[in-house]
């Protein structure tokens, strides 16, 4: 049985690094084009993004955003909001480190809506605190990144914030 556990561990993706990035954009053509442009501003439009849930491995280290090769399967916690002319839209990611009963790992939350940065920030903090409480962890630190935009008249808008996991070296 122990051999099976080792095989599984070797075949799983356990990120050692991550970065957080954001972008916002408008398009005259469509919401999809605005989303694509927001991904480009965030530096991740060339990636095949796979959205995942909300845990940072114990040893994960935050780094500055880095270039990812085109076409790479890229795991990310993604917050996205699209909107139309005159709407204020926002999205954000919050991440923090919880500790309790001899364990330490990170939690990630996302938020989006017709909201400004401050509302998004408060929502993220509340979500992280509840996530930690449910896991019987003490939230030791947390950070947030928010993005928002008032969509220009006659345009489609999109905002994205992504916590991007990087593979082991």
Q: What local confidence, expressed as pLDDT, does residue 13 receive?
A: 77
- Of 130, 79, 123, whose CA–CA distance to 107 is shortest? 130
Q: What percent of the chain has pLDDT over 90?
A: 88
> Looking at residues 139-149, what average pLDDT do you find?
96
**Strand locations in the chain (E):** 17-27, 48-51, 55-56, 61-62, 73-84, 88-100, 103-113, 138-150, 156-166
Task: Give, for 31, the enclosing helix (H) or strand (E).
Answer: helix 31-42
> Looking at residues 45-56, what average pLDDT do you find?
95
- Of 75, 14, 13, whose CA–CA distance to 47 is shortest? 75
pTM: 0.90
Contact between 63 and 17 under an 8 Å Cβ cutoff? The reply is yes
Q: Which two tokens stand for residue 133?
A: 């409480």
Q: What local confidence, expressed as pLDDT, does residue 14 receive?
A: 85
Confidence of residue 167 (pLDDT cuts 50, 70, 90): confident
Q: Is the pLDDT of residue 5 over 70?
A: no
- Residue-wise pLDDT for 60-78, tens only, equals 999 999 999 999 999 999 9
For the chain, domain boundaries: 15-166
Beta bridge partners, 81, equal: 159
Q: What local confidence, expressed as pLDDT, does residue 106 receive?
A: 97
Q: What local confidence, expressed as pLDDT, does residue 2 receive?
A: 56
- Residue-wise pLDDT for 14-49, tens only, equals 899 999 999 999 999 999 999 999 999 999 999 999
Average pLDDT, the chain: 92
- Considering the four listed CATH numbers 3.40.190.10, 1.10.1740.10, 3.50.20.10, 3.40.50.2300, the one that applies to the domain covering 15-166 is 3.50.20.10
- Residue-wise pLDDT for 118-142, tens only, equals 999 999 999 999 999 999 999 999 9
């Amino acid at each position: 049985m122990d051999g099976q556990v080792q095989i599984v561990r070797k075949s799983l993706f356990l990120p050692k690094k991550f970065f957080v990035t954001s972008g916002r954009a408008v398009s005259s053509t469509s919401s999809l084009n605005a989303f694509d442009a927001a991904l480009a501003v965030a530096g991740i439009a060339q990636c095949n993004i796979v959205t995942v849930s909300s845990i940072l491995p114990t040893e994960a280290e935050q780094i500055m955003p880095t270039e990812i090769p085109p076409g790479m399967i890229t795991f990310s916690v993604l917050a996205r909001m699209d909107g139309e002319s005159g709407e204020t839209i926002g999205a954000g990611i919050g991440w923090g480190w919880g500790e309790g009963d001899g364990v330490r790992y990170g939690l990630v939350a996302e938020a989006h809506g017709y909201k400004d940065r401050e509302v998004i920030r408060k929502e993220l903090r509340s979500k992280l605190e509840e996530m930690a409480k449910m896991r019987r962890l003490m939230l030791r630190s947390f950070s947030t990144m928010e993005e928002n935009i008032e969509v220009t008249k006659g345009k489609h808008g999109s905002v994205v914030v992504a916590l991007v996991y990087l593979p082991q070296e």
